Structures are given as C-alpha cells and as structure tokens.
Amino acid sequence: MSALKEIEIILKKKKPGSILFISDFFEIADYDTVRKSLQRLSDKEILIRLSKGIYYYPKFDKILGLIYPSAEQIGEAIANRDKARIIPTGKYALYRLGLTNQVPMNMVYLTDGSARKINIGKQTITFKKTSPKNLSADHYLSQLIIQGLRTLGKENVTFEHISRIEKIITGSNESINLRNDLLHAPVWIQKIILDLLEKTKNDKLA
C-alpha cells in the first residue's frame, strides 16, 4: 500500500479540526515521501496546508462553512508536538486577559522549546526561548496575569487594568494557585496580586 493511501486511511479516523504535522506520519515513510503525500492531499483539498510542515484536517459547520483553527490552537499543537511549555506574553497575554480588545496579529509565546517564527496566513506565531524561571508559574491564570502586567510595565498599570484583573480573580476560584505562584513574579506584581487577593477575600466575607 502506498504512503498516500495509508495516510488517507489514518485521516478517516481523525477528528475534523485536527492539526497535523509531517512528523505524525514518520512510521509510514520518510520525510520527503510524507511531505509529498500531504501536499497531494492538500492539492485535492482533503487537507489544508497552514504553513511549512503544518496541515489542517478541515472542519465544516452547516451554517458557517469551513472553520479554521485559531492561532492559539496551532501554537498549542506545536507545543504539544515538541513537548514544550509555552506561556502567552506581550499583547496576546493582554488580549487573553481582556485588557485590550484588539486581536493581535502577532502572537508571542515564551517557551522552553525551540525558538521559531511561524507564518499562518496574515498572522505570525513567535516562540521565544526563555529561562526556566519565567516558566515557573504552574497555573495558566497566574501565567497570564504575570505576563500581562510585565507587558504593561509598572508605570502603565491603570485603575481599569486592576479592576479587570480583580473581576477575573473573583470569578476564577484560583486564589490559592495565584498565591502559590507569586514567588515567580517581580515584587511589584506580587504586591498588586496580593492586594487584589486580600480585597476579593474581604469582599466575600462582607
């Protein structure tokens, strides 16, 4: 059986919306054979080529039609493939926190994996190599808040920013996790989060 046929059989068992990599099929054939097979499937519109070595098994909605994966889904799929940790940073962290309504065209992650930049259509996903210390916070909300405040900078944090973060903390039930992860944040961020944790605690007791 040809590599192309084997890949087609595997795809039929995949869930629509799956993000696939050339390396997913190395058990079938070598790099060039798999690459050419995936390209042929892309030409036949069975797969969509997102970027070099990255393909999408399309998902369709009866009303919306073709649903493309988000840049976040692609970034997480790459991290899972590489068994790397990633943390949103920069404008993307601010967007995830709701501190800005502007959807960033360029998404930046800190990672302990390989540094790289991937172009997906008009968007760019950048993985920046960082020290283990910057990836020490164990919980996603802690990571977002720490990186979001880092991006703003101490002098640029406004009352509106603090209010938004307070609402997130209040509705998250992650006070213990945030407190435990504080050791991995700069002192000025520790103070902001501790003040908010105390405030939300007192509000619940009132």
- Ordered by start, the domain boundaries in the chain are 3-66, 71-205
Kindly report the backbone phi and psi dihedral angles of residue 146, in degrees, each rounded to the nearest multiple of 5, phi listed first.
-65, -50
Domain 3-66 belongs to what topology? Answer: Arc Repressor Mutant, subunit A (1.10.10)
Residue 206 pLDDT more than 50?
no
pLDDT, averaged across the chain: 89
Q: What is the pTM of this model?
A: 0.79
> How many CB atoms are located within 10 Å of the residue 101 CB?
7
- For residues 131 and 182, the answer to whether their CB atoms sit within 8 Å is no
Tell me: pLDDT of 55 over 90: yes
Whole-number percent of the chain with pLDDT over 90 = 58
Closest CA relative to residue 99, chosen from 31, 151, 41: 151
- The whole-number pLDDT of residue 182 equals 84
Distances (CA, A) of 43 to 28, 67, 200: 20, 19, 55
Confidence of residue 203 (pLDDT cuts 50, 70, 90): low
Residue 159 · residue 116 · CB < 8 Å: no
Q: Taking residues 122-132, what's their average pLDDT?
A: 89
Residue 202 pLDDT more than 70?
A: no
**pLDDT at residue number 7:** 95
pLDDT value at 49 more than 90:
yes
Task: Determine whether 158 is exposed, middle or buried from the number of CB atoms within 10 Å of its CB (0-12, 13-18, 19+).
Answer: exposed
Between residues 104 and 206, which one has the greater pLDDT? 104
Residue 99 has a CB neighbour count (10 Å cut-off) of 22
